[in-house]
Amino acid sequence: MSNQITIYTDGGSRGNPGPGGSGYALYDSEGNLILGRGVYLGKTTNNVAEYTGMLEALRTASEMNFENVQVFTDSELMTKQLNGIYKVKSPNLKSIYKQCVELLDSFASWEVSHVYRENNKEADALANQAMDARADVEIEGDVPAEPKGKKLRLGVLISGGGRTMENIDKQIKAGKLNAEIAVAVCSRAKIKGVELTRKLGHKLEIVRKKDLPDLDAFSDRLVEIMDENRVDLIVQAGWLCLWKIPDKYDSRVMNIHPSLLPSFGGKGMWGNHVHQAVLDRGCKVSGCTVHFCTNEYDEGPIVIQRCCPAKPDDTPEKLASRVFAEECIAYPEAIRLFSEDRLSIRDGKVFIEEASASRKPRGQANLF
């Protein structure tokens, strides 16, 4: 399957300003519809609606891991601005224009071209449907996006229900993550993660610390399993057992923690213990941290962090739910960056490298 995507995008308002909507349709290289969306924007202007449609379409293409984008729009103004022919003078457009440019430059190649309205009927219809319904609308095709990077063999370590593994499994099956779960290791026999691993059809190993004479033996058994299954990256997914990571797995073990490390980490800080501590401290934000592991609890270079609000009326359970939603985004993204060989560690810090593919210089798109 080609990594080329074609996008048609449109936007408008009834009154300018008035009730507005954006629409976009994504097609694969064979012309098959992948996804169409209409987004209701409320009161806005025509130009803001046009740019919003462009921005949302580019975000979707990026999330689906397409590398080469060809965009068609019936806004001649936006086409010429994005190609560097016209300057953006309106204060209302400068921020969204900048976001569009940054997204375009994240692709290996891109073109933004003008088409007449009669050749942009799908996106126009979606924008109007959103305005009519005063709500977002969506239609889906059945073409999976092609993930980038090396196909990783993951070894997953679980001490609880396995929700994090389940999220990773969903991302893989949706074609958003170029990986496979080679083996899942559970630290106890009677946890939901055991049942879930079997349900998902993954290879299961149960390694209980109490069944082995000491920490060295426990660690050696984990390493033996990872070696046997040719694991590229070990993913701790609600894993509560300290183990000794050997040199050969240095920078090949990741963990996700339900706070913004280095705050609220360390021994005993797991699950709702973390969220209660955040609330007791009166924090206004919380979030999650993906980091490479060392042989100490919640230490190691930080890969990704995502934030969410901590509200005055939160319970630990409410905050946990909000944080987990961010975890479901952060962990797959960290794994994807690892698979694309875009993570480097210098002076104890993780740096995310630019994608290696060459980019097309702005201003060389086709104009019709």
Parse the chain into domains and list their residue ranges. 4-140, 152-352
User: How far is residue 337's CA from residue 149's CA, in Å, rounded to a whole number?
Assistant: 8
CA angle 101/104/105 to nearest 5° reads: 85
Structure pTM? Answer: 0.60
Could you tell me if 83 and 110 are in contact, meaning their C-beta atoms sit under 8 angstroms apart? no
In this predicted model, which residue has the larger pLDDT, 363 or 291?
291
pLDDT in tens, 74-129: 999 999 999 999 999 999 999 999 999 999 999 999 999 998 887 888 999 999 99
Superfamily of domain 4-140: Ribonuclease H-like superfamily/Ribonuclease H (3.30.420.10)
Report which of 234, 249, 286, 238 is spatially closest to residue 264, judged by C-alpha positions: 286
pLDDT in tens, 319-343: 999 999 899 989 999 999 999 899 9
User: How far is residue 44's CA from residue 35's CA, in Å, rounded to a whole number?
Assistant: 24
Average pLDDT over residues 269-296: 95
Q: Which helix (H) or strand (E) covers residue 81, if one does?
A: helix 76-82
Instruction: Write out the CATH class of domain 152-352.
Output: alpha beta
Residues catalogued as catalytic? 257
* Predicted pLDDT at 124: 93
pLDDT grade for 145, boundaries at 50, 70 and 90: very low
Could you tell me if 312 and 277 are in contact, meaning their C-beta atoms sit under 8 angstroms apart? no
* Predicted pLDDT at 353: 87
* Predicted pLDDT at 119: 81
